[in-house]
Chains A and B, each alone.
Chain A
């Protein structure tokens, strides 16, 4: 058979390549079925980084769906509760450039805030309890509700459903646990190390001065 094939080199080449392609295609197709895996291991790792507020500000119904979306190529900058630190961690994990937070999905609060229910006005409708993704609101039907501060993630999802608008987002009290040093002014990064005669923009000159 080989002797016949060698007499027709073009036919042999075609047969060899098509044969290779067919065998490999069948092999890969078989492997795709035989070695099918459920779940995406990278989505688990992304899910571990996400803050688990389940707030839905990213447009997905929770952190796990957003983690799966990121694993499939969604942008990493749609999670306001995670903040810059979260985006940085995701960028490190996925080895991509960190992006600034997408303001369309909300902004990081300058100070972390917590929900506060003005208890005198609360009518006990339980709508905020259903909205809370982390079960931080305590109460029952026709009873006054209140927020467990240590559980509240500040996602403000409970503000919208309240029929009497008795929920405020108040900045978190600074305590020994939440206080931190402010980062130094980034002026040192703009100081020129070598001399240049290029015209500088005003902003950097102001900063240097």
Chain B
């Protein structure tokens, strides 16, 4: 039981990493990785939203869509549910915990309908996860995203001061770095 869940976590974090192996959520990966501090905030917000999205989409699918035989509406229903839940959480957080809101605030609406978020919801359905499994899978996906985003941001911070040849400056060397990281993460295939 416990082993099942830890395998699920490890597979979501390392083996099937959302960014570097499944290539989901690349826009925040390239966009918010210029500064380590912003990357930290983004990764926390993403982990939060991914976990929340997994839970809500699972509930919606199994308690609303399936009983009515509306499985084909899952994409549009998930987008709606995720957007609303994130927006609602943001409002509540803003009122009850300004500190947390300052850390996550700007990033929450940004990633509401990110492809990784919709991806985790749809993958949960296609892998037939139970509610608890979905929760773990979502959290694992978020943790994996955080891991590579923070690693990548730290590298890019060093790259800005490195002596990079002119044609490779800026985004180009970022892309190459991301590619190399992806190659490294492919090495985890077969671990689980």
Q: B65 on the interface (CB 8 Å rule)?
A: yes
- The total number of A-B Cβ pairs within 8 Å is 67
Establish whether residues A16 and B73, one from each chain, have CB atoms under 8 Å apart when the complex forms: yes
For the complex, what is the distance from the CA of A13 to the CA of B68, rounded to whole Å?
A: 8
Q: A5 on the interface (CB 8 Å rule)?
A: yes
A1 to chain B, nearest CB (A): 10
Q: A16-B65, A24-B80, A193-B163 are in contact. Are A35 and B95 (CB under 8 A)?
A: yes
Q: B69 on the interface (CB 8 Å rule)?
A: yes
Chain B residue at minimum C-beta to C-beta distance from A19: B64
Q: A16-B73, A41-B102 are in contact. Are A6 and B68 (CB under 8 A)?
A: yes
Establish whether residues B77 and A37, one from each chain, have CB atoms under 8 Å apart when the complex forms: no
Chain B residue at minimum C-beta to C-beta distance from A23: B84
Q: B81 on the interface (CB 8 Å rule)?
A: yes
Establish whether residues B88 and A28, one from each chain, have CB atoms under 8 Å apart when the complex forms: yes
Q: B101 on the interface (CB 8 Å rule)?
A: yes
Q: A17-B76, A20-B77, A193-B165 are in contact. Are A27 and B88 (CB under 8 A)?
A: yes
Chain A residues with CB below 8 A from B189, complex form: none
Q: Specify which of B64, B91, B92 is in contact with A16 (CB 8 Å cutoff).
A: B64
Establish whether residues A20 and B68, one from each chain, have CB atoms under 8 Å apart when the complex forms: no
Report the count of interface residues on A (CB-CB < 8 A): 24
For the complex, what is the distance from the CA of A28 to the CA of B98, rounded to whole Å?
A: 19
Establish whether residues A17 and B73, one from each chain, have CB atoms under 8 Å apart when the complex forms: yes
Chain B residue at minimum C-beta to C-beta distance from A95: B38
Q: B70 on the interface (CB 8 Å rule)?
A: yes
A147 to chain B, nearest CB (A): 39
Q: B166 on the interface (CB 8 Å rule)?
A: yes
Q: A9 on the interface (CB 8 Å rule)?
A: yes
For the complex, what is the distance from the CA of A193 to the CA of B163, rounded to whole Å?
A: 9
A42 to chain B, nearest CB (A): 8
Establish whether residues B165 and A16, one from each chain, have CB atoms under 8 Å apart when the complex forms: no
Chain B residues with CB below 8 A from A194, complex form: 165-167
**Interface bracket on B:** 20 to 34
Establish whether residues B68 and A41, one from each chain, have CB atoms under 8 Å apart when the complex forms: no
List CB contacts (< 8 Å) of A27-50 with chain B.
Answer: 27-28, 31-32, 35-37, 41-42
Establish whether residues A12 and B70, one from each chain, have CB atoms under 8 Å apart when the complex forms: yes
Chain A residue at minimum C-beta to C-beta distance from B69: A6
Establish whether residues B94 and A21, one from each chain, have CB atoms under 8 Å apart when the complex forms: no
Q: A35-B92, A95-B38 are in contact. Are A16 and B70 (CB under 8 A)?
A: yes
Q: B87 on the interface (CB 8 Å rule)?
A: yes
For the complex, what is the distance from the CA of A5 to the CA of B67, rounded to whole Å?
A: 10
Chain A residues with CB below 8 A from B87, complex form: 28
A21 to chain B, nearest CB (A): 7
List CB contacts (< 8 Å) of A43-61 with chain B.
Answer: none
For the complex, what is the distance from the CA of A12 to the CA of B38, rounded to whole Å?
A: 44
Chain A residues with CB below 8 A from B60, complex form: 20
Chain A residues with CB below 8 A from B91, complex form: 28, 31-32, 35
B63 to chain A, nearest CB (A): 11
Chain B residues with CB below 8 A from A9, complex form: 69-70
23 pairs from A and B in contact (CB 8 Å cutoff):
A9-B70, A12-B70, A16-B70, A16-B73, A17-B80, A20-B64, A20-B81, A21-B80, A24-B81, A24-B84, A27-B84, A28-B84, A28-B91, A31-B88, A31-B91, A32-B91, A35-B91, A35-B96, A37-B95, A41-B98, A42-B106, A95-B106, A194-B166
